[in-house]
Amino acid sequence: MWGPAIEGRRVLIHGSGGGPSDMTTPAPDVPTDFIRGIINRDLESGRFGGRVHTRFPPEPNGYLHIGHAKSICLNFGIAAQYGGLSNLRFDDTNPTKEEEEYVQSIIDNVRWLGFDWDDRLYFASDYFEQMYDYAVQLTRAGKAYVDDLSADEVRKHRGTLTGPGTESPCRNRPVEENLDLFERMRAGEFEDGSRVLRAKIDMASPNLNLRDPVMYRILHAEHHRTGDKWCVYPMYDWAHGLEDSIEGITHSICTLEFEDHRPLYDWFLEALGAYHPQQIEFARLNLTYTVMSKRKLLQLVERGHVSGWDDPRMPTISGLRRRGYTPESIRSFCDRIGVAKTDSTVDVALLEHCIREELNKSAPRVMGVLRPLRLVIDNYPEGQTEEMDAVNNPEDPGMGTRKVPFSRVLYIERDDFREDPPKEFHRLAPGREVRLRYAYLVTCVDAVKDERTGEVVELRCTYDPQTRGGSTPDGRKVKGTIHWLSAAHALEAEVRLYDRLFTVANPGEVVEGAGFESVLNPGSLETATAYVEPSLAGAAPGARYQFERLGYFCVDSADSTAERLVFNRTIALRDTWAKIEKRL
């Protein structure tokens, strides 16, 4: 029932767990983890004057994914919990990979997740002038120099993990010459890649990040916000710490891979005498059966393996949203996984469990038939229609009931009939009786077959008029209850049945050479023409339902129209997570 111990906090994975260990659990809405521990200490010592100010700093070079959601929930969640602030800041320092479309999608996604930054929407590119001034300041102080080495040569001079680097011949250039060259770099006198500005730190440092890292490169490229104003662009490591400093961030929360960069950020801010936030690193989220790097997700999009960034199979926020996930389910997932300092991979079944749990409470039930089989009730009057009362949500009586039309010719699920069923099969078979949900009991008297293929194309049944609503006056037991639709009233709809995008749990770790594309699941999308009950006419894009006995479905926000409904299966009813949980 319990997840692994995580930095002093035990993560409650199973909501309804009992037992004495629950007594020591913090209430789920007041998470405590090592990051909050640091913040608590800083608040006690008055380190930032009692301020808590975080930020979410995406690079607009792709759509956000569920891993980003973890970071968003953490940063905005902490700000909310402590009555502090959180900024949304675009780290747009790389003009060649960034686009306005990504900026818009990110703004949209963070807002959809339920977070708000008031008027604190910032762009690193707004600080380019200040960053440039800071670079001049370092150069003037003899702590930065212009290097004429090519990128390749800089890399070669860098040394190895075991051996020191080599100093560049330009390293001891006089300050005035550096200032002059840097100014001319900015003025556009030099070609791309011909010079860089580097920090003068220590070519023998055991931390490679401190071996005179590049601060500026020459790049004659159009920037999505600053146009052609700049032809020198700051490197990430130079820019990132400055952005946090400029905004007065107190706690710069980032993922573990930046731990080794922290000494460099510290060095820059100390050398400048600038305001200094506290950086805290945590483990990034990895999820089974998917990839979680923007580079790989972009590849899936560009190579047409998915229909776009918002393909419902993608682990992007836009994809999950289109698939039918709610903001609450994603936030609840992020709460449950907690925050740790060691890398791990979370089972995607936990994410699926979160949405199932929520939709079970909130989604209205309807009937839909994915693979229809005609069922004719021989003794039901032709031309007659009855309105059956159906419960909208057994979990919530307040959601009321609705009418579902019933008539002589029905569709049932093909899987609900077996000509030669095993003993455990409680549905329809020749001579067997089942309950039609909210309607009558029917007995199968004949299965009509296609003469050529032998496939069953129609069932002939009789019904017992005494069993309206599903009860038997004589008390006879009928085990199976199946769903159905009146053929004359049913609406045709397209359903998209999604499965995992990859066939292996760790597609990122596929053998060399093969690449993650070799383990794509060819059956990750199955499209079918289905039928749904007439109450769904005009269902709004994004609306979510439980198709009884089948799963949760959501009206597709891009392709569904009043004329032709399109449903995405969010998740089947079968709960793999519940099974895993039982084994825990």
Q: How far is the CB of 87 from ligand ATP (least distance, A)?
A: 12
- 205 versus 293: smaller Cβ distance to ligand ATP: 293
Site for ligand ATP contains 241 (CB under 6 A): no
What are the φ and ψ backbone dihedral angles of 34, each rounded to 5 degrees? -65, -30
Contact between 32 and 9 (Cβ < 8 Å) = yes
Residue 531 to residue 71: CA distance in whole angstroms: 40
- 244 versus 416: smaller Cβ distance to ligand ATP: 244
Q: How far is the CB of 236 from ligand ATP (least distance, A)?
A: 9
Pairing of strands 433-436, 144-147: unpaired
Q: How far is the CB of 348 from ligand ATP (least distance, A)?
A: 13
- 111 versus 229: smaller Cβ distance to ligand ATP: 111
Site for ligand ATP contains 105 (CB under 6 A): no
- 207 versus 255: smaller Cβ distance to ligand ATP: 255
Selected binder of ligand ATP within 171, 225, 276, 284 (CB under 6 A):
284
Residue nearest to ligand ATP (CB): 67
- 145 versus 265: smaller Cβ distance to ligand ATP: 265
User: What residues between 9 and 68 interact with ligand ATP by CB under 6 A?
Assistant: 57-59, 67-68
Q: How far is the CB of 299 from ligand ATP (least distance, A)?
A: 12
Residue 294 is among the residues annotated as catalytic for this protein: yes
Site for ligand ATP contains 315 (CB under 6 A): no
Q: How far is the CB of 310 from ligand ATP (least distance, A)?
A: 16
Pairing of strands 53-56, 85-90: parallel
Q: Which residue's structure tokens are 């994915």?
A: 370
The DSSP 8-state label assigned to residue 223 in this structure reads B
Site for ligand ATP contains 247 (CB under 6 A): no
3-state helix, strand, coil in the chain (%, to 5): 30, 25, 45
**SS3 per-residue string spanning 93-134:** CCCCCCCHHHHHHHHHHHHHCCCCCCCCEEEHHHHHHHHHHH
Please give the size of the binding site for ligand ATP, defined by CB under 6 A.
Answer: 14
Sheet strand arrangement including 144-147: 144-147, 196-199, 214-218, 232-234
Give the bridge partners for 502, in sequence order.
520
- 349 versus 461: smaller Cβ distance to ligand ATP: 349
Q: Which residue's structure tokens are 């296609």?
A: 450
Site for ligand ATP contains 429 (CB under 6 A): no
User: What residues between 68 and 87 interact with ligand ATP by CB under 6 A?
Assistant: 68, 70-71
Site for ligand ATP contains 281 (CB under 6 A): no
Per annotation, catalytic residue among 59, 243, 281, 358: 59
Selected binder of ligand ATP within 13, 35, 73, 254 (CB under 6 A):
254
Residue 302 is among the residues annotated as catalytic for this protein: no
Q: How far is the CB of 68 from ligand ATP (least distance, A)?
A: 5
- 98 versus 548: smaller Cβ distance to ligand ATP: 98
Give the binding range for ligand ATP (CB under 6 A) out of 33-41, 137-145, 287-295, 474-482.
Answer: 287-295
Selected binder of ligand ATP within 36, 53, 294, 496 (CB under 6 A):
294
Residue 97 is among the residues annotated as catalytic for this protein: no
- 285 versus 428: smaller Cβ distance to ligand ATP: 285
Per-residue tokens: 379: 């003794």
Site for ligand ATP contains 507 (CB under 6 A): no
Instruction: Report in angstroms the alpha-carbon separations of 336 from 45, 130, 198.
Output: 30, 40, 43
Task: Give, to the nearest 10 degrees, the angle between helix 236-246 and helix 262-272.
Answer: 60
Q: How far is the CB of 286 from ligand ATP (least distance, A)?
A: 7
Contact between 487 and 409 (Cβ < 8 Å) = yes
Contact between 442 and 433 (Cβ < 8 Å) = yes
Residue 84 to residue 490: CA distance in whole angstroms: 53
Residue 468 to residue 442: CA distance in whole angstroms: 11
Selected binder of ligand ATP within 32, 205, 255, 503 (CB under 6 A):
255
Contact between 348 and 289 (Cβ < 8 Å) = yes
Beta strands in 41-195 (DSSP E): 53-56, 85-90, 121-123, 144-147
Residue 430 to residue 437: CA distance in whole angstroms: 19
Q: How far is the CB of 67 from ligand ATP (least distance, A)?
A: 2
Task: Give, to the nearest 10 degrees, the angle between helix 128-140 and helix 262-272.
Answer: 80
Residues near ligand ATP, by CB under 6 A = 57-59, 67-68, 70-71, 254-255, 284-285, 292-294
Hey, which residues are catalytic here?
A: 59, 284, 294
